[in-house]
Amino acid sequence: MARKRPQIPSTAALGFQAGIGVVGLLAIFLFGIPVQYDGLSFGSVVLWGVAGSVATYVVIMMLTWLPGRLRDSLESQLEQLHRFACEYSWSVLVALAVFAGVGEELLFRGAIQGWLAQHTHDAVAIVAASVLFGMVHYLSFTYFLLATGLGVVLGVAYALTDSLLLVMVWHGVYDMIALYCLRRFPEWFGVRVG
């Protein structure tokens, strides 16, 4: 069966994610925002990034399995994300996850949270960067809340470990798991295929 042509060409999707990273890097350099990257060894970054992404995904997936309002309000977004995941090849999906992990973390944790942490309390910086992160991922109010919650988790991890690389790995692996599960096991999320 031939794959449908994506609504958004893969070059545009990848370019958008790369552009987010470029904006983050420019902000970091232009505003002299200190970026913490040496808090952990590379092995620890990979280990904790993968473990954190798996744990976070399991928690969010369990939340979507709870009967009631949360699951009902996410139904159309999960169907939309399933269609999105099915439109692209696996290599494009992996590239999107990597670009999102690197680019979005450069912008939201590195630039925004980093800048705010220089001028306010760390908690304010984490919450503000996380709300902006949630707004960028807005598909519905419930999805906004979940994305904001993920942003808080990533923001706290960055603040505690001083490792931007850790949250990049965490975010990228999380996205890979989410896209894989939505594409391969849509029935887990109540998505009807056919």
Q: What is the pLDDT of residues 43-89, one digit of tens each?
A: 999 999 999 999 999 998 888 777 777 766 788 888 889 999 999 99
Q: What is the pLDDT of residue 158?
A: 96
63 within 8 A of 145, measured Cβ to Cβ = no
Is 179 among the domain residues?
yes
**Six token digits for residue 9:** 């060409």
Tell me, yes or no, whether 22 lies in a domain.
no
pTM: 0.92
183 is a domain residue: yes
The pLDDT assigned to 36 comes to: 80
Range of the domain at 43: 39-189
pLDDT of residue 59: 92
**Residue 64 maps to a domain:** yes
Confirm whether 70 is domain-assigned.
Answer: yes
| Structure-token pair, residue 33 | 């925002």
Phi, psi of 160 (to 5 degrees): -80, -30
Q: What tokens appear for 45 in the block?
A: 């970054």
Single-letter amino acid code for the residue at 44:
S
Domain count, the chain: 1
What pLDDT was estimated at residue 1?
Answer: 45
- Would you say residue 1 lies in a domain? no
How many CB atoms sit inside 10 A of residue 25's CB? 17
Any idea which residue has 């449908």 for tokens?
Answer: 4
- How far are the Cα atoms of 42, 57, 178 from residue 145, in angstroms, in the given order? 31, 15, 17
Stretches where the chain sits below pLDDT 70 are 1-5, 71-72, 194
Mapped onto helix, strand or coil, the DSSP state of residue 2 is coil
d(CA 178, CA 175): 5
**Minimal CA–CA distance to 6: which of 87, 82, 94, 90?**
87
Give the number of other CB atoms < 10 A from CB of residue 157: 20
Comparing C-alpha atoms, which of 194, 167, 162 is closest to residue 86? 194
Q: Which of 122, 132, 112, 137 is nearest to 26 (CA)?
A: 112
Amino acid 88: pLDDT: 94
